[in-house]
Amino acid sequence: MSRHVRPCVAGRFVSAAFAAVGLVGSLAWPRVAAAAAPPPPYGVTNLGTLPTDYNVASEAWDVNDYGQVIGSSFKQLASPAINDAFIWTPTAPNATTGTMARMTPTGGGGQQINSIGQVAGADDLGVQPNLAHLWTPNPLNSNTGTATPLPALPNRPLTFAWGINDAAQVVGWGANLSQATPMPDRAFLWKPATANGTSGTIVELGELAGGEDFSQAFSINAYGQVIGRSRGPNGDRGFLWQPSAPNATTGTLINLGVIPGHLFSEANGITDAGRIVGASYISAISKNGHAMMWTPTTENAANGSFTDLGDLPGGFDYSWAIDINESNTIVGYGYSADGQRATLWNGVAGAIDLNTLIDDPLDLWTLEFARGINEHGQIIGYGQFDPDGPAGPTAPAKRAFLLTPVPEPSLGAALLVPATLLLRRRRR
């Protein structure tokens, strides 16, 4: 989601409806946490695919602080796509080698993973189609576990779990697509009776006032703040659901607004301090829009300010921020002159094409989508992997990747190694 680094609009109110909530700020990120240091170079791990016939392609969807990765491995990419959920566990915390396994019995549906390896997702568990579930590993941070179906909202039997925090509170949405009694999507929060438990209660989060009966929840932080999108009177808007107390099941849905001149927005990622990332765009079908960040005035406050994160040079004037860690490093994707590219923002250099930061001397990778980042700076997503390089006969294939920051060499080691050999980054 990154593009051309250009000055952001500073000091303008987003809209009349947003005047009490935020304004568009500069690219410097002064509140809640200090701006990140310049980005490090990264080593690339090809996470591969599941064996047998689910080996056509793979995508990584989330990474936890242990370094576990969840995603999908595909038997067929053409519509309808046929995929199966995987979990990849490193040989040691945050290692770059590990083992991929099918996340039974979830099928293709893991979306987010918490620090102990619990996963929120949705798939056919033999009870009903598209049933939200909580997958709990045994032992913790392992490749084996059990999926527990979560209850459905009243009159909405189709449920999708999308986000999870470290206490195993789960968010998502429910729907009823029956032609006789159709019900639009409605965001929900499921709270376990005890932290990380598998039984609990589900509540609706409502929708924006004056709009359509539609909302979807995408993520939840340790405070219990929930973010997503809802359909207000002027179209889809990113929302913040602010609990009445930390981790309460009652709260208020707040319209985050849009960047000036845009019509729609969506909130995708949130830190434990309440900083939100997503996108603001011109229309539901347009490729024109910008990654954005919303910063609370104080930690976990319900009011704050917008920052337009900009984009990569030469593309479609389009970027999208998907995830953010507590160091305020943001990942997503955007379009450059070369096409769709995985992107990083960190408040120092603006939008950066991640392909320019990886150790890839043979030019095997084109990173297209960065989906998640953990507190160790590891980044996951997917891109095109060409096993024999651009000049070889083998066609590239979509593969899940894990990027791991390369430690800076010590001064003594640097004196012993020619600078050109410290890291061979791809230039493109």
Q: For 98-118, how does the pLDDT look when each residue is reduced to its tens digit (9 = 90+)? A: 999 998 765 556 899 999 999
Residues in the chain: 428
- C-alpha of 186 from chain center: 20
78-87, 96-105, 359-368, range with the lowest pLDDT: 78-87
What is the residue-averaged pLDDT of the chain? 84
Tens digits of residue pLDDT in 229-248: 999 888 899 999 999 999 99
> What is the residue type of 48?
G
Q: What is the pTM of this model?
A: 0.87
Decide if pLDDT at 50 tops 80: yes
Q: Which residue has the higher pLDDT, 408 or 144?
A: 144
- Contact criterion met (CB below 8 Å) for 82 and 75: yes
Q: Is 408 exposed, middle or buried (0-12, 13-18, 19+ CB in 10 A)?
A: exposed
Q: Structurally, what CATH architecture does the domain formed by 12-422 represent? A: 7 Propeller (2.130)
14-28, 181-195, 349-363, range with the lowest pLDDT: 14-28
- How many Å is the Cα radius of gyration of the chain? 21
Residue 274: the pLDDT is: 98
**Category of 350 on φ-ψ map: left (φ > 0), alpha (ψ -120 to 50) or beta:** left
80: preceding bond cis by omega (within 30 degrees):
yes
214-218, 326-330, 415-419, range with the lowest pLDDT: 415-419
Q: How far apart are CA 191 and CA 202, in angstroms?
A: 6
Residue 2: the pLDDT is: 30
* Confidence bin at 54 (pLDDT 50/70/90): confident
Residue 36: the pLDDT is: 54
Summarize the confidence of residues 310-314 as an average pLDDT. 88
Residue 104: the pLDDT is: 73
407: preceding bond cis by omega (within 30 degrees):
no
* Confidence bin at 219 (pLDDT 50/70/90): very high
Q: How far apart are CA 65 and CA 378, in angstroms?
A: 9
Looking at residue 419, the DSSP 8-state letter turns out to be H
Q: How far apart are CA 138 and CA 169, in angstroms?
A: 19
Identify the bridge partners of residue 255 per DSSP, sorted by sequence position. 239
Decide if pLDDT at 74 tops 80: yes
- Contact criterion met (CB below 8 Å) for 230 and 239: yes
Q: Which residue has the higher pLDDT, 95 or 176?
A: 95
Residue 1: the pLDDT is: 31
Summarize the confidence of residues 18-39 as an average pLDDT. 46
Q: Which residue has the higher pLDDT, 287 or 26?
A: 287
Residue 13: the pLDDT is: 25
Residue 352: the pLDDT is: 95
- Contact criterion met (CB below 8 Å) for 11 and 255: no
Three-state DSSP state, 355: helix
Q: In what order do the strands lie in the sheet with 200-206?
A: 158-164, 170-176, 183-192, 200-206
Q: How far apart are CA 217 and CA 332, in angstroms?
A: 18
